[in-house]
Structure 1
């Protein structure tokens, strides 16, 4: 009943908005990773430190959400790579980066364009809906008063964090397999066979009464400015409303159409193939690309 009241209020508030209402929000996303057991025992500390910093930077991203009352497009803002960042075993997981995520809350559909090993996929499916529990707790984010909402969400099976990296260059596969069996639970990339749920905390503002938010998040009576989900925090750093420069929101069209479930299966198979293939040595590219 409480949720229905909120959505009635949302409809009343949005009715006063012009038909061409649109805006843009910038979000900073950061995922914490446990690197305490990272690296071989004989790896120089300077090398460990450098690679750890590179990994951390890969989990710090900036996104831009362009939105109107019905549609939204969520894009990663590309940054210039520092010299040397294209090398290293972690580079092999770059195919799982976010692409173009389009959502239509009226139709409750989304289209997610992603690239995997040079092949573009167009994931089309129903927009995931969370059962939000809205509370009375508030906090200020920038100039906006925000309200707290929580929900349970299944762990994303397509997340790169669910998988383990390939063996070390020049390593012994049998020895690596034995070590993996011992250290699998402490690995950065775990293969989660069982579906788990995590608690998601969102902070939304009624000052911008649209049911939008970063990425897959939506369904609250105001723009979501912050999301905390497991080890990931997404925080809005800038908002522009009704700029003279109109935001163009178009659904991506290029790529092989596929459902989210089928994409997850393809991704898992490719990741398994990738992780089981030994690399030929430093600087080698031959072991980084799975068979077609």
Structure 2
């Protein structure tokens, strides 16, 4: 497994919790995750001074550091960005917002994903199956807050984890496949830490399927770490799938993005001509 690109230097807060996991039908929990990513500036970045690199990273902070909330019961979960924190930062990123994950509903019993996406002003409701993650269970353990966690790893096609994202290199690979070439399938190495003390199969982002709540996950250049956990809150929330937008599956949504970006590129080329 390749070395993870990011290690969080974060001291975990003592987890806030009320009650313990139960087998009652009304069991519910809420986990808060801090997400941090690094960005490879490539050859362009090599020409920048250290001060210039710091300026670029500061401008990109709202895209590289985020807070998310996972609300879950035994079978269902909702994962979404903490809008309150984003509003407090005052940061806006209209370009990046087209390629970020929207509010996501998972049902682990029915193997169902429903995710709300907005792409250049159009609303989509992406309905599909949950990604099949072949976890390799390890014996290594560590404490995260008050919880004893076990390590699990997996190698997952990058397209399964970033189907809502876009890169120009990905578009070139798509064009090669249309020309009859068979491009190599990029894979992402994933490391997760889950706790059987909370026996649900939920986790942040696309991750799920372990015999305990995932409290930390690292994949590519991003790490998500649970900083606060509330079990059985006094006020329960409705966990329901989003229901507003054009229904589409993940593959067709990705095609929609690529076709639109091809259109942008071609229009830009005609203007230069």
Q: TM class, shorter-chain normalised? A: 0.7 to 0.9
1:102 is aligned to: 105
Residue number among 180, 198, 201 corresponding to 2:191 in the alignment: 201
1:243 is aligned to: 233
1:266 is aligned to: 256
Secondary structure in structure 2 of the residue aligned to 1:238: strand
Q: Deviations over 1:104-140 (max 9, x none)?
A: 0110011011000111100001111211110100011
Residue number among 13, 16, 20 corresponding to 2:26 in the alignment: 20
Counterparts of residues 1-292 of structure 1 (less than 5 Å) = 17-35=23-41, 37-38=43-44, 49-78=54-83, 79-80=86-87, 85-86=91-92, 91-156=94-159, 158=163, 160=165, 162-164=166-168, 193=174, 194=183, 195-275=185-265, 277-278=267-268
2:4 is aligned to: none
CA contact (8 A) 1:163 1:271 kept: no
**Which is further off, 262-271 or 32-41?**
32-41
Question: Cα distance, 1:31 vs. partner?
Answer: 1.8
**Which is further off, 228-237 or 266-275?**
266-275
Aligned in 2, Cα 1:236/1:190: closer, same or farther, shift over 3 Å? farther
Q: Distance in 2 between matches of 1:219 and 1:49?
A: 38
Q: What is the aligned length?
A: 237
CA contact (8 A) 2:196 2:211 kept: yes
Q: Distance in 1 between matches of 2:126 and 2:144?
A: 33
Secondary structure in structure 1 of the residue aligned to 2:39: coil
Aligned in 2, Cα 1:82/1:192: closer, same or farther, shift over 3 Å? farther
Secondary structure in structure 2 of the residue aligned to 1:251: coil
Aligned in 2, Cα 1:40/1:213: closer, same or farther, shift over 3 Å? closer
Question: Cα distance, 1:163 vs. partner?
Answer: 1.3
Q: Deviations over 1:68-104 (max 9, x none)?
A: 0000000111212756x54xxx742321122110010
Aligned in 2, Cα 1:221/1:95: closer, same or farther, shift over 3 Å? same
CA contact (8 A) 2:27 2:232 kept: yes
Q: Distance in 2 between matches of 1:15 and 1:243?
A: 11
Q: Distance in 2 between matches of 1:40 and 1:152?
A: 30
The two structures, once aligned, show a CA RMSD in angstroms of 2.8
Question: Cα distance, 1:155 vs. partner?
Answer: 0.8
Aligned in 2, Cα 1:49/1:243: closer, same or farther, shift over 3 Å? same
Report the TM-score when normalising by structure 1.
Answer: 0.73
Question: Cα distance, 1:209 vs. partner?
Answer: 0.7
Aligned in 2, Cα 1:220/1:82: closer, same or farther, shift over 3 Å? closer
Q: Distance in 1 between matches of 2:264 and 2:34?
A: 30
CA contact (8 A) 1:111 1:125 kept: yes
Secondary structure in structure 2 of the residue aligned to 1:64: strand
Q: Distance in 2 between matches of 1:148 and 1:220?
A: 10
